[in-house]
A and B are shown apart, each in its own frame.
Chain A
């Protein structure tokens, strides 16, 4: 364990928040995407985070743990199970036999809130990295 690990952890934190921002961007861009069936309709994407030290948590000790045992990563990206929006638009070229088109299940308000939350978490990790940087710079001035 050293201060260098904090950089790794903060970098992993920033990386997962970036993935979260990416999925939000994709969801927002596809908010009005239509399809001709429920299965083809765009579903909102959500990353699922997992702590990378889950396997190390059992013994509860820092000793002998490698930096890879600490941090956070994305386990998978899941599709939202919310119902898709169905609209009656018989003139739409994508309409099915009954005249329905299927819009994505993206909730723009939810996505905006998620985006702000991801952005704040990203800032928190940057702050953490800055603090650690100043700690390391102090260490370098030891004995001067």
Chain B
């Protein structure tokens, strides 16, 4: 029987939100380099990254050097994300594989999915608040 615990209460949404943030930076980088010769567009597999983050429970644990130290139960925020290269629909003559339209769409979609992750997470906080106040 575990007491109310943030890691249990927030579920997967905390890590999903974190990965959405990372993905927005990767996609932003692709868009900023949409006219850089030789630049290869990159992205990561969100499902695989989320699975890795879920299984990597102890990644953020602090080392205990004294028996009085409290055991940290924070889950893997620092889980590594493997970037891969996008396969272009149409090769460009300067070696750039960024498709600005595709990247814009992916960026907008990622922002929306960030919004839904945020709503889920916020809902969990609202439930916690209800549980605490008891009404």
Residues of B within 8 A of A117 (CB): 35
Taking the complex as formed, is B121 at the interface, i.e. its CB lies under 8 A from any CB of chain A? Answer: yes
Q: How far is the CA of A45 from the CA of B82 in the complex (A)?
A: 38
Q: Is the interface of B mostly helix, strand, loop or mixed?
A: helix
Other-chain contact of A13, B24, B32, B125, B129 (Cβ < 8 Å):
B32
Contacts of B76-135 to chain A: CB distance below 8 A: 78, 80-84, 100, 104, 107-108, 111, 114-115, 118, 121-122, 125, 129
Report yes or no: A128 in contact with B37, Cβ–Cβ below 8 A.
no
Number of interface residues of A (CB under 8 A): 37
The interface bits of chain A over 7-51 (1 if a CB of B lies within 8 angstroms of the residue's CB, else 0) are 001101100100000000000000000000000000000001111
Q: Name which residue of chain A comes closest to B78, CB basis.
A: A63
Taking the complex as formed, is B61 at the interface, i.e. its CB lies under 8 A from any CB of chain A? Answer: no
Report yes or no: A3 in contact with B21, Cβ–Cβ below 8 A.
yes
Taking the complex as formed, is B75 at the interface, i.e. its CB lies under 8 A from any CB of chain A? Answer: no
Taking the complex as formed, is B26 at the interface, i.e. its CB lies under 8 A from any CB of chain A? Answer: yes
Task: Pick from A90-98, A104-112, A135-143 the stretch touching chain B.
Answer: A135-143
Q: Which of A10, A49, A61, A142 has the most CB of B within 10 A?
A: A49
Taking the complex as formed, is B33 at the interface, i.e. its CB lies under 8 A from any CB of chain A? Answer: yes
Report yes or no: A10 in contact with B32, Cβ–Cβ below 8 A.
yes
Residues of A within 8 A of B (CB): 1-3, 5-6, 9-10, 12-13, 16, 48-51, 53, 57, 60-63, 70-72, 117, 121, 124-125, 127-128, 131-132, 134-135, 138-139, 142-143
8 shortest interchain CB distances as A-B pairs? A13-B32, A49-B36, A6-B28, A9-B28, A5-B25, A72-B32, A1-B22, A143-B125
Residues of B within 8 A of A (CB): 21-22, 24-26, 28-29, 31-37, 39-40, 42, 78, 80-84, 100, 104, 107-108, 111, 114-115, 118, 121-122, 125, 129
* Interface contacts beyond A9-B28, A72-B32: sample of 10 additional A-B pairs, CB < 8 Å, sorted by A: A3-B21, A3-B24, A6-B28, A60-B82, A62-B26, A71-B29, A124-B100, A127-B104, A131-B111, A142-B122
